[in-house]
Structure 1
């Protein structure tokens, strides 16, 4: 579920652009992002498993001051609820683009079909079924992108050198983007709630941790395979404007099958994200508002249904989602550092967690990751504000 949520068209695009422009130099960034994600997602999963609270509920219940409580609720609903709706258009269009490449049928046709299929899957309200479908698609995605990486034949020496941290000129924003597409705010909400569906309690924490680490590492390997493929296909310094160039370039270099596998992987990435984003938005919104987070409840379905519908409609009519995405970036730029800090605080609450509270080592790791997340959040917020000012100035 975690890998399905953070490996979407945005990740495919970011990894492709980074590999084309900087070659293998930013491989280390993916390694750092995997470690950072494991640290935060493990805390989120432990919180949900031990306290039986979702992250939205925990955030809401920790504030006695009504102003602080309502502010936290408004921020969660804005950043996660509205944010996932803003990104949903891109998720659906990305997956539809993969199908369009394979079939020749327009993405505007495939978009609504994908949305309908995702809606039917979520409407079943059967967590195990949803999880199995997503796991299968992650497997398809992983196999597709890994086969491409093998077919293209990367430079193993340059790949090994990429694990040594470096920051080539102009790479600051791509580094932030690579980490930002892996350390995803709404994933923390999704994970804290979804572990309660799969595991009965803290006695199963060991299995939960193994599952968390494995899924994140698999997701990181998929991201790495995409970056490596782009680094091998394009001369270093290539400015890749859209992921479609990646698919087109693969065919003459590695054959028709390489392009086919890439397109299949892109579809799987789009569909999994288009399904998990509404689910995460529903969990976060329901928790923050104090609603029942039952997959079959009317209000829960109304939230994910609204998010999915926004993506379907906007993808079908060709709506430019940039203004909404800019708003989502601003809200998430504020929320992610707050959630990271909140996780550290709540995970030290021995009244709630007892022996499952953070150890000193976990606090140190969490503190380092949180500091980086705060800096990334500030940088993302500044970039989003500049984009917003640019949009206003262009009116």
Structure 2
């Protein structure tokens, strides 16, 4: 095969997985890093089972929502508005929009703080977090300016590759014993008091950051824009499996790196940025730099989708074309991107708030599952492609799991009051 043919084949293969890569970049951000690192540092690998179950549930939800769009040609918000009630669609737009605004502040705050701490290794006193936040906000907005999903996807493919490579490499440098990792697959709740973050709240946050409702709603938009039909169902499921597996690998690697270093030394963690200073005497500058680059890549990769989520939600809800080159969207996204400056500007420390916001996602999950259960079983919409009994059983399991973890998060919150 010629070099041109090889290049074409490689690009074609990559294109098949770009929607999944987009979802990985969206889902694995500084919220995930903070939550997984805190779980690993405070509880070792004891909560690894939560990640496994959450990623399995995420695969089912991605594949199910994607299949709905393959059959009907409608995005999730279109379907909520047309076939359930306009108020349901509006509820998701508002709830996810508020969550995204909080995420924009928290993500860039953590990225700026990580960059500041890391820069101290090379520059005396480091570079002020506000400058880092302004730089990364400008980079994200510059990439958004093109207005094309394909550009986002290809850039995210590079950023996600950097992020995943950094965290997996750090896993091999700092990993705990294999027996400890294997024990983490057995469901249990650590009985550890005296820490700022309750294990129950942490479990809810881990579930909320992995099984994120916005992920599944955005998935339908990506499937529709890709022009896939039911003939691509097999590819769609493969893409969903790729996204879920990579989410598990990256999340587990973050947890294991913290467990193999901080937890092993009896050092707890209240925020991921602490790992920059705490890891250096345990693992050396190389591991610190690798971890820092991974966190920065995670933050940047989630910032792109966060910027476009609200305009996409509004377009889907109103069934209008998603032309992000329109000035009204460019102005809107430019304004909300400034939220990334709030945390460093006011020297806030939003780590606990970030964990609470991730836990809040669990509240949206039962409604998200209930909607696809209803829509996916309607014969007038799905015809011969209605949910099988196995799919329905899986969705009911996810629904119950979300209720249980939501209750655990509520109990954890009460324990902290």
TM-score, structure 2 as length reference: 0.83
Answering whether residue 157 of structure 2 is matched by residue 141 of structure 1, we say no
* 8 A contact 1:95–1:270 mirrored in 2: yes
Answering whether residue 214 of structure 2 is matched by residue 186 of structure 1, we say yes
Quote the Cα distance in structure 2 between the aligned partners of 1:381 and 1:308.
31
CA offsets 1:155-190 (integer angstroms, 9 cap, x no match): 111111211222221532222221111011211121
Quote the Cα distance in structure 2 between the aligned partners of 1:245 and 1:325.
15
Secondary structure (helix, strand or coil) at the match of 1:255 reads helix
Match of 1:167 among 182, 189, 195: 189
- What is the aligned length? 383
* 8 A contact 1:23–1:232 mirrored in 2: yes
Answering whether residue 313 of structure 2 is matched by residue 284 of structure 1, we say yes
Q: 2:254 maps to which residue?
A: 226
Q: CA deviation at 1:308?
A: 2.2
Secondary structure (helix, strand or coil) at the match of 1:112 reads helix
Quote the Cα distance in structure 1 between the aligned partners of 2:287 and 2:159.
18
Answering whether residue 143 of structure 2 is matched by residue 115 of structure 1, we say no
Answering whether residue 105 of structure 2 is matched by residue 89 of structure 1, we say yes
Q: CA deviation at 1:242?
A: 1.6
Q: CA deviation at 1:192?
A: 1.1
* 8 A contact 1:96–1:110 mirrored in 2: yes
Answering whether residue 389 of structure 2 is matched by residue 367 of structure 1, we say no
Q: What is the aligned-residue RMSD (CA, Å)? A: 2.7
* 8 A contact 2:202–2:355 mirrored in 1: no
Q: Residues 305, 79 of structure 1: CA spacing in aligned structure 2 closer, same or farther, 3 A cutoff?
A: farther
CA offsets 1:38-57 (integer angstroms, 9 cap, x no match): 11111122223332222111
Quote the Cα distance in structure 1 between the aligned partners of 2:346 and 2:190.
40
Taking the TM superposition and a 5 Å limit, the aligned residue runs for 1:1-395 are 1-63=22-84, 68-69=85-86, 71-103=87-119, 104-170=126-192, 171-235=199-263, 238-301=267-330, 303-313=332-342, 315-318=344-347, 332=361, 334-377=363-406, 380=409
Q: CA deviation at 1:326?
A: 10
Q: CA deviation at 1:332?
A: 4.5
Q: CA deviation at 1:323?
A: 11
* 8 A contact 1:9–1:266 mirrored in 2: yes
CA offsets 1:292-344 (integer angstroms, 9 cap, x no match): 33333455545544432333455544467699979967975543321211011
* 8 A contact 2:200–2:408 mirrored in 1: no
* 8 A contact 1:282–1:301 mirrored in 2: no
Q: Residues 319, 298 of structure 1: CA spacing in aligned structure 2 closer, same or farther, 3 A cutoff?
A: farther
Gaps of 5+ in 1: 391-395
Quote the Cα distance in structure 2 between the aligned partners of 1:150 and 1:374.
35
Q: CA deviation at 1:90?
A: 0.9
Q: Which region of structure 1 is more displaced relative to structure 2, 300-309 or 249-258? A: 300-309
Q: Residues 294, 331 of structure 1: CA spacing in aligned structure 2 closer, same or farther, 3 A cutoff?
A: farther
Quote the Cα distance in structure 2 between the aligned partners of 1:349 and 1:108.
51
CA offsets 1:177-224 (integer angstroms, 9 cap, x no match): 211110112111211101222243221121121111111211211110
Q: Residues 299, 333 of structure 1: CA spacing in aligned structure 2 closer, same or farther, 3 A cutoff?
A: farther
Gaps of 5+ in 2: 1-21, 120-125, 193-198
TM-score, structure 1 as length reference: 0.88
